[in-house]
Structure 1
């Protein structure tokens, strides 16, 4: 695992973040190497670094959308630093009022994301945040959901990109900003 852009790590803050990520073999099933990011959120210095670095990439966005569940943690922090509002992109069945939903394929089945009603005005510029970018399926579904609501997705920000899974290519041409690569 590496810092995505060593030029951003002059003070060693991202190296500190990197050192908090733990590999958990065979979770959630055999053959999977899970990247546990929980210690990053629990460490004030690391969490501040991640929020600040991702907020610097928000640009002229009106809103930050955080994808359930750890994207909520990051999204709220990034929006606070960037001075924007934040919108949760939820798993199906969690919202009392739904503006729209989008079903997407998983490795073994499907999942659905929903957008809360009354949160994304038409024409809003939205920066989407999640903890990990793997295949890009979840991020692409979130982007489609936001686009269906009349928003413009202006970028994606993630703490960790699993580069071998090529999720970035699914999201092109929208820019993807990752702080760490694995």
Structure 2
């Protein structure tokens, strides 16, 4: 619920847009809108401050990963409850074998797609170049470090 905080505010700043957090129940002050969603083993609740989105305001939901789509759908429902215009969803990674995007009724954009047997490589990267980038190298001090892709 909070990993999107790592890059959501920076993306909003870069776009000249606002950032509105979606939090689990009881973590936000003031009046909140609430949406319950199903998880693998039960239910959870998301909340958003009731005055955070103006009627007709354009909104993009940003998060680190989409798996089953339940939490993303709940966030989208909150945006609509508050009168926002949901333009779509952006995720760093999608576990596409879980078919979470099928629960979402707005465009979905992802950077990486995960398969049951591994990740698809980014555009232009080969298996060999990915393996080479992952090999440890020894620096002048003798400590192992990872090469930066």
Q: Which has the larger radius of gyration?
A: 2
- Listed as ranges, the matches of 1:69-148 within 5 Å are 69-148=2-81
**Whose relative contact order is higher, 1 or 2, with alpha carbons under 8 Å and at least 6 apart?**
1
Structure 2 Cα separation of the partners of residues 151 and 168 of structure 1:
20
User: Following superposition, which runs of at least 4 residues in structure 1 exceed 3 angstroms of deviation?
Assistant: none
Aligned length: 114
Equivalent residues of 2:50, 2:82 under 8 A apart: no
Structure 1 Cα separation of the partners of residues 15 and 100 of structure 2:
25
- 2:83 is the alignment partner of 1:150: yes
Q: Report how far residue 96 of structure 1 moved.
A: 1.1
TM-score, normalised with respect to structure 2: 0.74
- RMSD, matched Cα: 0.9
Partner of 1:161: 94
Question: Can you list the C-alpha shifts for 1:72-109, whole angstroms capped at 9, x where unaligned?
Answer: 12211110111100000011000111330000100101
Question: Can you list the C-alpha shifts for 1:8-29, whole angstroms capped at 9, x where unaligned?
Answer: xxxxxxxxxxxxxxxxxxxxxx
Equivalent residues of 2:65, 2:91 under 8 A apart: yes
Task: Provide structure 2 residue ranges, at least 5 long, that are not aligned to the other structure.
Answer: 115-149
- 2:123 is the alignment partner of 1:179: no
Task: Provide structure 1 residue ranges, at least 5 long, that are not aligned to the other structure.
Answer: 1-67
Partner of 2:121: none
Q: Alignment partner of 1:78: what SS?
A: helix
Q: Alignment partner of 2:22: what SS?
A: strand
